[in-house]
Amino acid sequence: MKAIESFEVPAPPKVNYINAQYGLKSWLLTKDHKRIALLYLGSITFFFFIGGIYALMIRLELLTPQGDFLQSTTYNKVFTQHGIIMIFFFLIPSIPATLGNFLVPMMIGAKDLAFPRINLLSWYIYLLGGVITIYALLAGGVDTGWTFYTPYSTTFSNSYVVATGLGIFINGFSSILTGLNFIVTIHTMRAPGMTWFRMPLFLWSHYATSLIMILGTPVVAITILLLAFERLAQVGIFNPALGGDPVLFQHLFWFYSHPAVYIMILPSMGVISELIANFSRKNIFGYSFVAFSSLAIAVFGFLVWGHHLFVTTQSVYAGMIFSFLSFAVAIPSAIKVFNWTATLYKSSISYDTPMLYALGFIGLFTVGGMTGLFLASLGTDVHLSDTYFVVAHFHYIMVGGALMGYLGGLHYWWPKITGRMYPEGWGRFAALVIYVGFNLTFLPQFVAGYLGMPRRYHAYPPEFQVFNVLSTAGASILGLGMLVPAIYFVWSMRYGRHAEANPWHLPGLEWRTQSPPPTENFEVTPVVTWDAYEFAPREETEVVGKFGPEIERV
Amino acid sequence: MSEHIVPVRVYITIFLVLLVGTALTVAAAFIDFRLPYINTVVALTIATIKATFVVLYFMHVRYSSRLIWVIMAAALFWMAILFAFTFSDYLTRDWISIQR
Amino acid sequence: MSSHAATEDIHGHRALQHHFENMEQQREAGTLGMWIFLVTEIMFFGGMFLAYALYRTLYPAAFASASNHLDITLGAVNTGVLILSSFTMALAVYFTQIGNRRPQVICLLLTLVLGLTFLGIKAVEYHDKYEDRLIPGNLIPGHSFDPVIQKEGEPVDHHKLHLLPGATKEKVELFYWIYFAMTGMHALHMIIGAGLLTFLLIFSLKGRFDPEYHSPVEVIGLYWHFVDIVWIFLFPLLYLLGRHYH
């Protein structure tokens, strides 16, 4: 009867990682990977809102063709800082530092990451980098573009290049330590029976991401350091007036920054693999293909950075090699999309909020990825480089891809992390609003860019205004849409329905412990005898074979 | 304890090899090989051999799991990528001339 | 081994951290962690090696001139000092592995002293560069790059810079910038290494390490050897490649 159906089960008074210890010190000096994940969640959300405010300022300025809202120098600082905050302080740490930190030990059946104190240190380093960068922003900002191209950044810019560079440099170590922790944990701390090919694909993608963090971040670290010293001492390895080559800076910078975009998308792809398989109640199609494609993206991603230098004095021959490889790197991503689609085929899909984000991801990431091919092709890149086409391309992947995966994952694992459910109706509503707002924001930018509107300009010819107005309208909807989860997530922590251990009824290891988990994750170290996405029951079934009935063991 | 303990005489041998290598490389620097890049090749070869001995014996990679070996090889391979692709730009810039 | 009873209880070795199953797993994780960190260091220095390799290819005359001006004796001595310190470090690990505390402490101390010797000799070299006005740019305000060029026919003065044909002062300044960046970064890593060795010494004296638990000694040993390897490459590249320039 209705009254009994709506009766809510109160939460049993169990000790979990949240209530195990109270007090600020127990949080700020914690070694528990789950608490550290929450610390990161708070800080990353903070930086996301700052980056969002800069985005709002950009879109307000671009409503009209004249530069009337901001001065050109201020506008330069606004788009620079939007990029720096969003890339280094939001996107790169987002999934690995929050969902990764929380789930990697749980998914392999371990009590914690290999180096819990280094995990905590990585958060403090992230904060230190963030504080220094915010200081630089408040003191006057930086106007070089997030790419810091020389010799403008070393010689001519009158902004806080060194301070910002220092903040980013320090932040890089946070990234390196997180990646290091994940690699060592996955190699040495898997529970008995958890072979590599029984691991959820979330772990494969985080492993691949960690490889990129380890191999790429140090190069941008030394590059920023050299840039800072060049600016301070006026020496010349990047300055043509002193015998240097600005393109060398670009080579060193993009050697990291291209793989960095794979740092931003691979964890999201790992989340999507989890969401697609679990919310269609079907084993992922082509598990090993998806697993190896993550590694392939990590490796191939290091071979394509020259496509950012097509319109520089880079040799055309090198350009041809980079162009070919840039086409090749699309293949593993496409393999993933095909496998996800094949998983969905003839499956039992439930359209919960996380699944809505996953489905949105597949479409939006495909658009973003395919528009990348126009940029990978030498001829068309000359036309499209430094236009809004590029801006739309990477926002489709970063927001339509990475952010959707992040939101989907947050919703999916929210009951595990907090022990509470978010309101499903509002969740679906927000997902749809975000999807519509996103497309309205960035689809017109493809057209505007193709028609020639340059990026990083605060004023533009009037024929582009209609696209900009549509884009700003979309951005407003997108912004409002993203406020909705912000509000109901906070609301749910106090008033949300209590979640049981396995609210979605799924086979993953993280669902076999209470919600929220105890500090040690599992009461007893699990012994794993099942595959990652085993939905079919393990029993003998009678199958009619070629020569008569046979028993097939599933 | 499954650790492998390297005997002291191995360390002494490697140490002497490294000293000899250093002396060799200094001596080779003063030899005129006619072609200037031969000096570079000789010096880098000796340096690589010295580094290999340090890695294999002082850093115990000779007695470690395959994973450690793969990690070392991967780092060198990635350095090679950085060098090879960047140099592929600089060395081929003159191959094509802009028609004026 | 007699240390067994004193260091173990029902929870395992006193140094076993709670999230590891046993000391073997902990040791494996620690070693793997240091190797991964060394990978990041290789890529970190790699960027500077690339810049050096590139400009050496583009400006061979200037780089040879600048390289010839470096003191090959001091450089070679420093190489020997570092190799010896790697040897004593390896011995320190060995003695820790077999539980022989006194030689272990002595070897750690020797390694530290040799490292500081290296830094001392480096300081002498840096001072010479300062005297000869070879510090690039405005790294030291008021004391910019301004070496005296050796002119033809003058008696050979080792403080003056001899420019090979095709070399310019500007390109030589590029060499010195890379020289200071690379050796400076290397020296910074040595200083950090010296700090780590001091910690190791203190803990060794307190008897913290035994054959069951000596991961920190091993792992810091790996770091120290790596810093040695960087110098093994820096020395020929910076000091030796210009002696026969045509």
Q: Is B11 in contact with C212 (Cβ distance < 8 A)?
A: no
Q: Looking at chain B, which residue has its C-alpha nearest residue C78?
A: B22
Assigned token pair, A402 = 């990475």
Predicted local confidence at residue C2, as pLDDT: 41
The torsion of the CA quartet A222, A224, A225, A226, rounded to 10 degrees, works out to 90
Residues of C in contact with B41 (CB under 8 A): none
Q: How far is CA A422 from CA A167, A271, C16, C75, C199, in A?
A: 35, 18, 40, 65, 49
From A66's Cα to the closest Cα of chain C, the distance in A is 42
pLDDT at B13: 95
* pLDDT surpasses 90 at A436: yes
Asked if the model's pLDDT at residue A37 lies above 90, the reply is yes
What's residue A552's pLDDT?
41
**pLDDT for position A554:** 37
Q: Could you tell me the pLDDT band of residue A3, with boundaries at 50, 70 and 90?
A: very low
**Predicted pLDDT of residue B99:** 59
Tens digit of pLDDT for each residue in C151-164?
888 888 888 888 88
Instruction: Please tell me the predicted confidence (pLDDT) of residue C245.
Output: 67
Q: Token digits for A458?
A: 């605060």
Q: What element of type H or E holds A242?
A: none
- By C-alpha distance, the chain A residue nearest C140 is A233
Q: What is the pLDDT of residues A61-72, one digit of tens each?
A: 999 999 889 999
- Which residues, 6+ apart, have CB-to-CB distance to A168 below 8 Å? A84, A88, A129, A133, A224
Residues 6+ apart with CB under 8 A from A217: A172, A175, A176, A179, A256, C40
pLDDT at C97: 92
| Spatial separation of the C-alpha atoms in residues C189 and C172, rounded to whole Å | 26
Q: Residue B84: enclosing H or E segment and its boundaries?
A: helix B66-92
Nearest to C36 among A214, A235, A525 (CB): A214
- Residues of chain B contacting C76 with CB distance shorter than 8 Å: 22, 26
DSSP A89: I
8 Å CB contact between B27 and B46: no
Tokens describing residue A505: 């009824």
The residue among A211, A514, A523, A203 whose CA lies nearest residue A195 is: A203
Provide, as residue numbers in chain B, all residues whose Cβ is less than 8 Å from the Cβ of C238: none
Does A151 sit behind a cis peptide bond, omega within 30 degrees of 0 on the bond before it?
yes
- Contact C232/B47, CB-based, under 8 Å? yes
Residue A451 structure tokens:
């028609």
| Chain C, nearest residue to B19 by Cα | C80
Q: Are A20 and A517 in contact (CB under 8 A)?
A: no
* Helix/strand/coil for A339: helix
Chains with ≥3 CB–CB distances under 8 Å to B: A, C
pLDDT at A381: 96
**Nearest C-alpha neighbor of A142 from the set A231, A60, A215:** A231
Closest residue, chain A, to C50 (C-alpha)? A252
Query: Distance (Å) from the C-alpha of residue A127 to the closest C-alpha of chain B?
Result: 29
Chain B to chain C, count of Cβ pairs less than 8 Å apart? Answer: 134
Is A315 part of the contact surface with chain B (CB cutoff 8 Å)?
A: yes
Percent with pLDDT over 90 in chain A = 85
- Kindly identify which residue of chain C lies nearest to residue B58, measuring between CA atoms: C90
pLDDT for residue C86: 96
C225 touches chain B (CB under 8 A): yes
Substitution target in C143, C177, C182 with the highest count of A β-carbons within 10 Å is: C177
Q: Is the pLDDT of residue A85 over 60?
A: yes
Six-digit token pair at A64?
């009209």
Instruction: Give the type of residue at C154.
Output: E
pLDDT of residue A296: 97
Q: What residues contact A62, with CB distance under 8 A and at least 6 apart?
A: A458, A460, A468, A471, A472
Mean of the pLDDT values across residues A406-426? 96
CA A326, CA A372: separation in Å to the nearest integer? 9
Which pLDDT score is estimated for B8?
93
> What tens digit of pLDDT does each residue of C85-140 get?
999 999 999 999 999 999 999 999 999 999 999 999 999 999 999 998 899 988 88
For residue A289, give the nearest of A300, A306, A304, A273 by alpha carbon.
A273
Give the residue on B whose Cα is nearest the Cα of A304.
B85
Interface contact B89, partner A, CB < 8 A:
yes
CB nearest B90 (choices: C54, C235, C243):
C54
pLDDT, one tens digit per residue, over A466-489 is: 999 999 999 999 999 999 999 999
- Chain A nearest CA to C106, separation (Å): 30
pLDDT attached to residue C158: 80
Taking a C-beta distance cutoff of 8 angstroms, is the pair A261, A216 a contact?
A: no
Which residue would you say has higher pLDDT here, C24 or A390? A390
Structure confidence by residue, pLDDT tens digits, B10-32: 999 999 999 999 999 999 988 88
Residue B85 has pLDDT above 90, yes or no: yes
Residue for token pair 């999916």: A412
Using CA atoms, how far apart are residues C13 and C4, in angstroms rounded to an integer? 9
So what's the pLDDT on residue A10? 54
Instruction: Give the mean pLDDT of chain A.
Output: 92
Chains that touch C (3 or more CB pairs under 8 A): A, B
Which residues in chain C land under pLDDT 50? 1-5
The answer to whether A230 and A237 have CB atoms below 8 angstroms apart is: yes
Say which residues have a Cβ less than 8 Å from residue A443's Cβ, sequence separation at least 6.
A392
C174/A237 CB distance under 8 A: yes
Please, which residues have CB within 8 angstroms of residue C224's CB and are 6 or more apart in sequence? C85, C86, C89, C111, C115, C193, C197
Residue with tokens 């041998």: B13
* Higher-confidence position of A531 and A261: A261
Q: Looking at chain C, which residue has its C-alpha nearest residue A185?
A: C29
**H or E element, residue C13:** strand C12-13
Going by their DSSP bridges, the two strands C12-13 and A548-553 should be labelled as unpaired
No. of H helices and E strands in chain A?
Answer: 18, 2
Higher pLDDT, A352 or A13: A352
Binary contact (A302, B95; C-beta < 8 A): no
Residues A198-237: pLDDT tens digits? Answer: 999 999 999 999 999 999 999 999 999 999 999 998 888 9
**Percentage of the residues of chain B whose pLDDT score is greater than 70:** 93
Give the contacts of A495 (CB within 8 A, at least 6 positions apart).
Answer: none
**Average per-residue pLDDT for chain B:** 89
Q: Is A108 left (phi over 0), alpha (psi -120 to 50) or beta?
A: alpha
pLDDT of residue A541: 47
Neighboring chain B residues of A318 at a CB cutoff of 8 Å: 85, 88-89, 92
**Distances in whole angstroms, Cα of residue C206 to Cα of each of A270, C101, C102, C105, C221:** 47, 10, 12, 10, 19
Q: Is C173 on the interface with A (CB under 8 A)?
A: yes
CB contact under 8 A, A317 and B92: yes
pLDDT at C243: 79
> How far is Cα A207 from Cα A290, in angstroms, rounded to an integer?
13
Comparing C-alpha atoms, which of C237, C244, C66 is closest to residue C167? C66
Q: Look up residue A70 and give its DSSP letter.
A: S
pLDDT winner (highest mean) among A3-7, A386-390, C137-141: A386-390
ipTM reported for the complex, 2 dp: 0.92
Per the CB < 8 Å rule, is A235 touching C136? yes
List, as ranges, residues 124-143 from C with C-beta within 8 Å of A: 136-139
A549: pLDDT strictly greater than 70: no
C-alpha C113: how far from chain center: 14
